[in-house]
Amino acid sequence: MSSLTMRPCGDFRTSYKQDNTIFETKTIRWVTIFTILALCFAPLVVDGYFITLLIQISYLGIAALGLNILVGYTGQISLGHGAFFGFGAFASAWLNTSFHIPVFLCIPLAGFLTMGVGMMFGAPAARIKGLYLAIATLASQFIIEDFFARADWFSGGSSGSMAEPINLFGFAFDTDQSFYYVALFSLVFMFIWGCNLMRSRDGRAFVAVRDHYLSAEIMGVKLNKYRLLSFGISSFYAGIGGALYAHYLGYVSAEGFTLMLSIQFLAMIIIGGLGSIKGTLMGVIFMVFLPEVLESGVGVMKMTDWGNIPMVVDGLAYIKEMTIGLVIIGFLIFEPEGLAHRWTQIKNYWKFYPFAY
Amino acid sequence: MNSIKNKKLLLSSITTCIALSFTSQVQAEDSVFVGHLADMTGPTSFVAKHYGSGIRDALNYKKKNNGINGTKFEHETIDYSYKVPQAIAAYKKWTSRKNMVVMQGFGTADTEALISFVSRDKIPNFSGSYSGHLTDPTGKNPHTKKPAPYNFFYGASYSDVCRGLIQWAAEDWKSKGNKGQPKFTHIGANHPYPNAPKTACADYAKELGFKVLHPVVVSMKPGDFKAQCLSIKNSGSNYGYLGNLGGSTLSLIKSCNTVGTDIQLMTNIWGADKNFFNAGGSGLKNYVFPTMTPFWGDDAPGMKLVGEISKMSDPSGNKERTHHYMRGICSAYYMIEAMEWAEENGGITGENIKKGMYVKSDWVPKGLEGVCLPATWKADDHRGINKINIYNANYENGSVKVNKVSTVTVERRDDWLGY
């Protein structure tokens, strides 16, 4: 078993530039560029159902990357990410309807507002860590959820608030196909930003704080500053993701941003791989597609004569829900380092074939 | 070797799953598609599965019996487990692959998430979410933030039910010969569903001379609510509206019996049914609740059809259905009759179905007389029902007896539209 820290044989880096590069080889770079270009043509090829799933992957992916920066790279924990996601959604809708700021400006502004809120709730991280921090962030989840239900001026209370579609130079991104490009652009932009952040001094400081906070402090990394900054950046990502979600649906209701959503974000990054940017995306894709694939399995059963009776269909619904849970448990047992690790192993397997060690 | 075999097995099963997700079920020519979102396994499933089965059985029954004036229709029931992303994905699958014309939804979460989509795609959505703000289709009331032109539901809105209960409470207070100002409390979680009628109901209570006390917050999850019951007791409140449902409401009733409160509890449409009474048992004393349909075993002309529909999933015909099940049937049948009107007047499209909803007034679907209350939808007013049947439940000699208390009519005031 190779581990993440082990370099494949023959891969020697002789300069900092080589060590710092986003794409390890030219092939990876070209494959990435080609994939993004191919995704641009997706609306011409696939139907609305897949477009909506790709949009879901985009906004959830952006928010999940934020959580991975906090949990995977900085070693902090947050159980309130779903609430920050919701805060971004409401904040963007609120900025747009109350101050008539154009939507494409509201989205980054909502990100900054969420960043502020996130840093406020992340402040205890300067003093506490581990389980204690988990409980402190759990409190933020409940406080913000309660705020949504009460603050009529901000969230519209029980009737929710409306979010206009993105409008750029008179063109409204109000169909799935057009919004898909907004979502894709945001996803690529935020992921490149995330990659670059991790190559910078601040990114290395996050990793230092995670790996050994005492050594990091001795080396001159300000612990409080970086822990708080990590909370801020993580919430910023959640806010952007939430804002995209709001303007995609056109309507925000306080119903969806529960603790379950926060747990789901955690599940995404654990399945994908903690401390891995591409792992984040893999985890999100996995979590978005899993229920859909299982649902289509149920759909196939329903097409048969013996399967299309309510007893079988209802039974399958339960099995489907349980399978989602089972798959997640299976991952934690057999693939604790996530999909990103499995990907590395698959690559190594091909690279060293037939002399894999 | 074994591990390679396992890997091959894993790989092939993954490929099969992916291949499955790409298969789109081919749809027959000359048929229309109805989408149905149901929560069979999620957090609200203990009432939602009754409501969802009612819709599914009604659709299956109609499919077997002549369809829409002879036009075939197809439907698919998807269990979305009360999860918004899955509801959206199902909706998009239906619109992009099946050419859906109309849909049946369920809860607050999916209904509200789809408001913008259904009005853009012109697909009427019949929901089991009775929020007042869904009733203003044109935004006539300046308070309405977002008009919901393609949302319908069978039943009175949460706000109107609460107003009806308040109206009944005011009469009840007088008829019992009580003096002074009655006190009213809203009891429920701080969550959109219990909160929906909170201000509307409090305003009307004030108008009818109630003293409106501070709302009491009770979690949606079952628990020990003696502290809340003590504060209800200390406040001396006379009437309480229960905004929650199921286990939470039951534990509140039990806790309040222990504490010994003297409050008349009144609940919302989801807050009481047969299973609830069986679980509540001896704790139930004069528990007041609304319905929009009769009960299983009641004598009404339409119950014959309900019995036939019930046999779709229970051929023996022995299963007792709750009133949520019958509300599901009504919701499906109003939709079906509107589809039939659309078929005769220009074809079954979402827009025509919406128009079909406005054709009749005091409308009861054929064959369901005495089951569905007469309903009237108007192009600028989606408050279909404004009559509320009020019942009470009492534990007597080992079983729970349900008696009709009154029928109240709530005014259709302009400033109550969408509120």
Q: pLDDT per residue over B64-114, tens digit each?
A: 988 888 888 888 888 888 888 889 989 999 998 889 999 999 988 889 889
Residue B16 pLDDT more than 70? no
What average pLDDT does range B260-277 have in this prediction? Answer: 90
Cα dist. A24→A18, A86, A244 in Å? 8, 36, 31
Asked whether the beta carbons of residue B89 and residue A52 sit closer than 8 angstroms, the reply is yes
CATH topology of domain B158-295+386-416: Rossmann fold (3.40.50)
Residue A331 lies in a domain: no
Residue A72 lies in a domain: yes
Strand partners, B396: B399
Residue A138 lies in a domain: yes
* DSSP 8-state secondary structure symbol assigned to residue A256: G
Percent of chain B scoring above 90 in pLDDT: 58
Residue A67 pLDDT more than 60? yes
Q: Which of B4, B41, B55 to mutate to test the interface with A (most CBs of A within 10 A)?
A: B41
Which residue type sits at B14? I
Provide the pLDDT for residue B155: 92
The alpha-carbon gap from B47 to the nearest alpha carbon of chain A, in Å, equals 15
Residue A275 pLDDT more than 70? yes
B272/B324 Cα distance (integer angstroms): 10
Q: Three-state SS for B406?
A: strand
Provide the pLDDT for residue B6: 57
Asked whether the beta carbons of residue A48 and residue B95 sit closer than 8 angstroms, the reply is yes
pLDDT band, residue A1 (cuts 50/70/90): very low
A95/A109 Cα distance (integer angstroms): 8
Q: Three-state SS for B359?
A: coil
pLDDT band, residue A262 (cuts 50/70/90): very high
Residue A330 lies in a domain: no
Among A289, A48, A296, CA closest to B99:
A48
**Sign of the alpha-carbon dihedral angle for B401, B166, B268, B321:** positive
Provide the pLDDT for residue A11: 63
Among A334, A327, A340, CA closest to A278:
A340
Provide the pLDDT for residue B24: 45
Closest partner residue to B146 (CB to CB) among A149, A162, A255 is A162
CA B201 to chain CA centroid, Å, is 19
Number of neighbouring beta carbons within 10 Å of residue B23: 11
Global confidence as pTM: 0.86
The backbone region for A247, taken as left when phi is positive above 0, alpha when psi lies in -120 to 50, beta otherwise, is alpha
CB B21 within 8 A of CB B89: no
Residue A45 or B27, more confident: A45
Considering only A5-19, B136-150, B214-228, which range has the smallest mean pLDDT? Answer: A5-19
Residue A125 lies in a domain: yes
pLDDT band, residue A160 (cuts 50/70/90): confident
* DSSP 8-state secondary structure symbol assigned to residue B363: B
B283/A211 Cα distance (integer angstroms): 57
Provide the pLDDT for residue B29: 53
Residue B23 pLDDT more than 70? no
Asked whether the beta carbons of residue A157 and residue B190 sit closer than 8 angstroms, the reply is no
Residue B20 pLDDT more than 60? no
Asked whether the beta carbons of residue B145 and residue A249 sit closer than 8 angstroms, the reply is no
B223/A93 Cα distance (integer angstroms): 35
Residue A3 pLDDT more than 60? no
Residues in chain A with CB shorter than 8 Å from the CB of B244 are none
pLDDT band, residue A320 (cuts 50/70/90): confident
Provide the pLDDT for residue B27: 46
Interface subset of A 201-260, CB within 8 angstroms of B: 249-251, 253-256
Strand partners, B242: B187, B267
The chain-wide mean pLDDT, for chain B, equals 88
B339: which 2 tokens? Answer: 């589809």
Interface subset of A 320-339, CB within 8 angstroms of B: 320-321
pLDDT band, residue B12 (cuts 50/70/90): low
Residue B216, phi then psi, degrees to nearest 5: -105, 125
What average pLDDT does range B257-277 have in this prediction? Answer: 90
pLDDT, tens only, B160-210: 999 999 999 999 999 998 888 999 999 999 888 888 899 999 999 999 999
Provide the pLDDT for residue B25: 45
pLDDT, tens only, B110-124: 898 899 899 999 999
What average pLDDT does range B267-287 have in this prediction? Answer: 88
Among B320, B295, B311, B318, CA closest to B371:
B295
Residue-wise burial string across B393-413, b where 16 or more C-beta atoms lie within 10 A, e elsewhere: bebeeeebebeeeeebebeee
Asked whether the beta carbons of residue A321 and residue B313 sit closer than 8 angstroms, the reply is no
Q: What is the DSSP string of A304-342?
A: STTT-SHHHHHHHHHHHHHHHHHHHHHHHHH-TTHHHHH
Beta strands (DSSP E) in chain A are: 161-162, 166-168, 171-173, 251-252
A215: which 2 tokens? Answer: 């050594």
Considering only A209-213, A215-219, A346-350, B132-136, which range has the smallest mean pLDDT? Answer: A346-350
Domain limits, CATH 3.40.50.2300, in chain B: 31-156+298-385, 158-295+386-416
CB A245 within 8 A of CB A59: yes
Provide the pLDDT for residue B13: 59
A289/A282 Cα distance (integer angstroms): 11
Closest partner residue to B89 (CB to CB) among A53, A159, A302 is A53
Cα dist. B76→A79, B72, B153 in Å? 36, 14, 19
Domain that holds residue A143: 23-259
Residue A310 pLDDT more than 80? no
3 state SS for B236-272 = CCCEEEECCCHHHHHHHHHHHHHHCCCCEEEECCCCC
Residue A251, phi then psi, degrees to nearest 5: -160, 135
Provide the pLDDT for residue B191: 85
Asked whether the beta carbons of residue B17 and residue A293 sit closer than 8 angstroms, the reply is yes
Residue B5 pLDDT more than 70? no
Residue A340 lies in a domain: no
The chain-wide mean pLDDT, for chain A, equals 88
pLDDT band, residue B290 (cuts 50/70/90): very high
What average pLDDT does range A42-70 have in this prediction? Answer: 94
The alpha-carbon gap from A194 to the nearest alpha carbon of chain B, in Å, equals 25
Q: Which of A255, A260, A285 to mutate to test the interface with B (most CBs of B within 10 A)?
A: A255
Residues in chain A with CB shorter than 8 Å from the CB of B86 are 291-292, 295
pLDDT band, residue B26 (cuts 50/70/90): very low
Closest partner residue to B89 (CB to CB) among A49, A158, A317 is A49
pLDDT band, residue B140 (cuts 50/70/90): confident
Residue B313, phi then psi, degrees to nearest 5: -110, -5
- B31-156+298-385 belongs to which homologous superfamily? Response regulator (3.40.50.2300)
Cα dist. A103→A58, A186, A243, B113 in Å? 18, 14, 9, 19
Closest partner residue to B145 (CB to CB) among A156, A176, A249 is A156
Provide the pLDDT for residue B170: 93
A77/A134 Cα distance (integer angstroms): 6
pLDDT band, residue B37 (cuts 50/70/90): very high
How many domains does chain A fold into?
A: 1
Q: What is the DSSP string of A273-289?
A: -TT-HHHHHHHHHHHHH
